Amino acid sequence: MTEKSSQAIKEFLGEAEEILENLSADLMELGETMETGDANPDLLNSIFRGAHSLKGLSGMFGFVDIADLSHQLESVLDGLRLGKVNLDRVLIDTLFEALEILGRLVHGKGESSDYTIDVSPVVKNLEDMLKGKADQGRDDPFADLDIDRSVLDVLTEYEEHRLLENLKKGRSLYRVVASFQLATFDTDLAEVTELLKKDGEVISTLPSSDNCSEDAIAFQILVGSALGFEEIGALVARENLRVEKIGHKGKKPQAAAPAVPASRSTEQPAGKTGDATASMRSISRMVRVDIDKLDVLMNIVGELVIAKGTIGELSERLKHEGHTLGGELVKATRILERRLAELQKGVMEVRMVPISQLFDKMARVVRRMAGEVGKKISLEIRGAETELDKLITEDLSDPLLHIIRNAIDHGIEPPDIRLAAGKPEIGRIGLYAMQKGNHVVIEIHDDGRGIDGEKVRRKAIDRGLIDENAELSQEEIFELIFLPGFSTADKVSELSGRGVGMDVVKNNISALSGMVEISSRLGEGTTMVITLPITLAIIKALIIRVRDKEFAIPITSVMETLMIERPAVRTIEGREVIELRQSTLPLLRLSHLFNYPPVVDEGQNPFFVVVVGMAEKRLGLVVDELLGQQDVVIKPLGNVLSFVRGFAGAAELGNRKTILVLDVGSLMSESIRGEMSLNV
C-alpha cells in the first residue's frame, strides 16, 4: 500500500466511523419509538442521509462491499420514510445487523484494504423487506380533501406519504401562505418553519403566486398539526402571512386568519444582516485530526518537558554557584515552564473525547444481546459527556464489553424468574461515568441475581486457590474472581465466555493504570467500579528512592507523605499496618516487594511512607527517600516486558536517567492478596 493510499484510507476510516456512530445513535432512538410507531420524520431523514453518505463515501474509495450493503440499507430506509416498510422489531433488528456488518467491514479495511466479508445474507434480508411491501394500489387517499389539485400534483412521494400520515393521526391540515422581502426571505422563511415545527410537521414548502409586492417572494407551507386554527394563527402571527385550514369537500373552510401587527415582521433579527456569504460557510467548526499526529505532537511536548527540567536544574545550579546569569536564567525558565504547561494542556485537551462514543456502542450491544438470550433489559446511561483520553477510551472498549456481557448473561435473570422473585420483568443495567479529580470513575450496575460469595469461596477451595479454613472478607472473596481461569459459571456460555476471563479484564485495566472493584448483594445485583486516570501521556510524578534506585509514582495517586517512627507500626495477620486518622493503613515495603537484600538497621529508624489511593482503597508505600515532584512522559515497557506487573511504564528524567513508573492500581490489588514479588 502506498503512503498516499494509506493516508486516503485513514481519511475514509475517520469519516466512515463518524457516520456509523451517528447511525448507531439514531437507530437506537428509532428503536425507542418502535412501540408507538410514531417515528420522527427528521430522525428518519437523518438515518437515510447517513446510509446515503456512507454509500457515496465507500463508492468513492472503491469499497464495493460497503457500497452494496449501504445501498440496500438506504433503499429500505427510503421505503420506511415512504411508509412502504413497517417500523417493527424485525426491521430494527435487521437494520442493526446491517450496521454491525458495516462496522466490521470498515474496521477490517483499516487492517487491510482487501478485507471483506460476505454481505449477501443481510442484503437479501433487506431486499425481502422491500419485496414484501408491493404497491397496494390504493385509491386516491386525497380525493375527499379540499385542497388545490395543483398542489397535490407537485408533492413528492415522500411528501404525499407524510400528508397521509398526518391524516391518519387525525391532525388538522393547514396552508400557511406568507410573503417575505427578497433581502431576508431565507431567514424569515426558516424562522416561520421552525415555529411551525414546534407543534406540528411541515409537510411541504412550495412557491406561491400570492406576492404582496414586486420586491417580495411568497411561499405556501403545508402543515399538519394537532393545534386548532386559532392556535396556529397565533403561533406564526406576522405581517403578510395568513393561515387557511384545509377541510374536506362539502364543508365550509374556516376563514382566513386576521392580519397581525406589522411591528414583529419588520424587525430585523439581531445578527441576521442578510450576509449571503455566511450561508456558504461550514456550520461545523470541527477538524478531524489523526491520533498519530497528536501522538507526534505529544512526544515533542514530552521532549520539551524533559529539556525544560534539565535547563531548570542547570539554572538552579548556576544560581547557587553565584554566576551572575544564574538568576536571570531561572526567571526565563519559569516563563518557559508556564508556556510549556499551556501547550501541554492544549495538546491534552485535543486528545480528550466524550465517553459517549464508547457508551453508545455498549447500548447497541445490550440491545442486541438481550434479544439473543431472550431477556428484557433497559440500559440507563449517565455522565456520557465525561471526557477521557482517546487512547484510553479505545483500550477500555474490550474490558467494558466483557463486563456488560457478563451482566447480561450471568447477572440479569430471565423475565419469568424475575417476576417470580418479585422483581420488574425488565432488568436494568446502569452505565455511569463521572470525573473525580484527575481520574474518571465508570460504574456498571445491574439489578440481577448478584454474586454468591459462598459459591465463589467453594470454587476457590476446590481449585486449591485458598485454604478451606481461610477467613476472607467479602471484598477478598470477590477479588478471587479476577484470578486467571476462575469462573463461577456451571457451563461455558458462548455469550460471555469466549475464552476471556475477568483476569484479562483486570490486566487490561491495569495496563491503563486503572483498577476495577466489585461489590455485590445476592439477589439484588452487582456493581463494577473502574477507576482510570484521565490521560497516560504526560503526568506529574513523585520521584522516590528505594535503596540506590529511583522510581516515579503518579502524583494523581499520591494522597500524602508521612514520616513514621518504628513504634507506630503494628502487625495484623502478618502484615504491617499503621493507624492513620482512626483508620488502619496497610503498609507495603517496596524494598521487600523488589526482593532487595535487607540492610542492618532496616526498620529501626524513622522511614517515609507515601500514602497512595485509588477509588476507596488506601495503601502506604514504604520508601527510603522522597526526591521531589517532576513532569514525566510515560513510555510503555513494550511487548517483551508486558508480563511484568506493578509498573505502568518507564520515564526519562532530565538528567537522562531512565526510571520505572509504579502502577499504583496494580500494586494495591496485588498487595491485598499478598502474592506479589518483583525483581528489579
Please give the positions annotated as active site: 52, 74, 406
Report the SS3 class of residue 295: helix
Residue 651 · residue 661 · CB < 8 Å: yes
Long-range contacts (CB closer than 8 Å, 24 or more residues apart) made by 428-431:
428/377, 428/378, 428/379, 428/380, 429/366, 429/377, 429/378, 429/379, 429/380, 429/404, 430/379, 430/380, 430/381, 430/382, 431/359, 431/362, 431/379, 431/380, 431/381, 431/382, 431/404
Q: What is the DSSP letter of 582?
A: T
Cα 375 from Cα 358, distance rounded (Å): 23
Dig out the grid coordinates for 178 from the structure. 406568507
User: CA torsion 379→382→383→389, rounded to 10°?
Assistant: -10
Q: CA 475, 477, 482: angle at the middle one, nearest 5?
A: 95
Cα 540 from Cα 542, distance rounded (Å): 7
Cα 534 from Cα 29, distance rounded (Å): 29
Long-range contacts (CB closer than 8 Å, 24 or more residues apart) made by 470-478:
475/519, 476/672, 476/673, 477/453, 478/451, 478/453, 478/518, 478/519, 478/520
Residue 140 · residue 211 · CB < 8 Å: no
Cα 383 from Cα 356, distance rounded (Å): 8
Cα 416 from Cα 420, distance rounded (Å): 6
Cα 66 from Cα 56, distance rounded (Å): 10
What is the number of H-type helices and E-type strands within the chain?
A: 20, 22
Residue 433 · residue 384 · CB < 8 Å: yes
Beta strands in 547-597 (DSSP E): 549-554, 558-564, 570-572, 575-580, 583-589
φ and ψ at residue 602, rounded to 5 degrees: -60, 130
